Homo-oligomer: A and B are copies of this chain.
C-alpha cells in the first residue's frame, strides 16, 4: 500500500506534502554554531518571541511547540477544566482528526455544530450554550473556530469580533485554530493580529508547518493570565523541545521579509487558479475559494481513475466531494496537468 502511495502524485493531497522553504533551512544552519541553553532559555528563542510579540502585541504570551495537534489541545487545556465543553464546527480538525486527543488530555466534551461552510456564527452557536450551572451537563467554556476553516473559507474580522463579543458576554472564551492563519490573512490583506487577537480571540494556535516550516507551531495567549501555568502544561504535554533554538529560528525566518505572507499568497493564488480551471472544465466547485483549498464534485468513476495517478482526499468517505490543497510549492504546471487529467476522465 505504501508503494502504491509513493508512486502517486501527492501534490494536491495536503499542504503538509510540501517541503521546507529554503529560507527556513538556511535559518537552521544559521543558529547551529556553539552551545545554547536548552528548553527555550536561549537568545534565539528570545528573538523569535520578540518577533512574535511584534506581530501579536506586546502582552501576548507565546509558546513554541512541535505540531498543531498539540497547540490546539494544550492551548485549550490551559483555559479549561475537565467538566467543560468546546463548541466547534462539526468539520473542525479538533473534533474530526485528533483521534480523541482533546477528550483524553483535557477530559472535555467537544460539541459539534453543523455549518454550511465550516464557519460558526452567533446564530449557529447560541442554541448550544445550554445547561449552564446544571451540574449534570458539560459546561460550555470555549468557542473554537478555525481560520481559514477546514472548508477553505475565511472569517472576516467583523465575524470574529461578533463571536468574541458573544463568547465574552456568556463567560466563554474564543479559541482560534490558526493552522492556516497565514492563508486567511493573505486573503483578507490584513495583519495576523487583526484577524485574531485584535478581533477578540483569547487563545490562538498559530501554525507554520503547512506554510513552509519544517516543524513549528505556537500558542499565543492574548490574555497573559491564561499563560501563567502553561510552561508546566507544555512540558507535561510532551511538547517542550530541548533544542528549542531550531524551532525559534524557523519562526524568526518565517516572520522576516514577509516570508509567511509570500508563501500564503502563492498557495492561495494556486487554489484560485485550480478552482477557475476546474470551473472552466465544467467541474462544480462547492465552497468559496478563499484560502488554499478547493472543494469540488467529481464523479465517482473519475475519482477512481484519478486515484491511480493522484493522491487526494474525498471530503468524507461516502461522497463525491473532494478536497484539493495547494501550498507554497504548488506550481502552475502542477495545476494545469492535474486539471487536464480530470478533463480527460470526465
Residues of A at under 8 Å CB distance from B?
A: 2, 5-6, 8-11, 13-14, 16-20, 22, 25, 28-29, 31-39, 41-43, 46, 66-70, 73-74, 81-85, 95-101, 103-105, 107-110, 112, 127, 130-131, 135-139, 209-210, 214-215, 229, 231-243, 246, 311, 316-318, 329
A-B contact pairs, 11 of them (CB 8 A): A2-B41, A5-B41, A17-B37, A39-B135, A66-B215, A67-B240, A69-B238, A97-B137, A98-B235, A105-B238, A130-B317
**How near does chain B come to A200, taking the closest CB pair, in angstroms?**
25
Interface pair A100/B127, CB less than 8 Å apart: no
Contacts of A43 in B (CB 8 A): 6
Which single member of B37, B135, B316 contacts A232 (CB below 8 Å)? B135
Pair A42/B6 contact, Cβ less than 8 Å: yes
CB distance from A165 to the nearest CB of B (A): 22
State whether A238 touches B37 (Cβ < 8 A). Answer: no
Contacts of A238 in B (CB 8 A): 66-67, 69-70, 73-74, 101, 105, 237-239
Report the Cα distance A147→B200, complex, angstroms: 45
Residue among A19, A46, A99, A107 with most chain B CB within 10 A: A99
Name 20 extra pairs, CB < 8 A, besides A5-B41, A13-B35, A19-B34. A2-B41, A6-B41, A14-B38, A17-B37, A37-B311, A66-B241, A67-B241, A69-B240, A82-B100, A82-B104, A83-B104, A83-B232, A83-B233, A83-B235, A99-B236, A103-B103, A130-B316, A130-B318, A136-B235, A214-B243
- Contact call A109/B107, Cβ cutoff below 8 A: no
Q: Which residues of B contact A29 (CB under 8 A)?
A: 25
The minimal Cβ–Cβ distance linking A70 to chain B, given in whole angstroms, is 4
Cβ-defined partner of A231 (8 Å) among B10, B98, B135: B135
Residues of B within 8 A of A130 (CB): 316-318
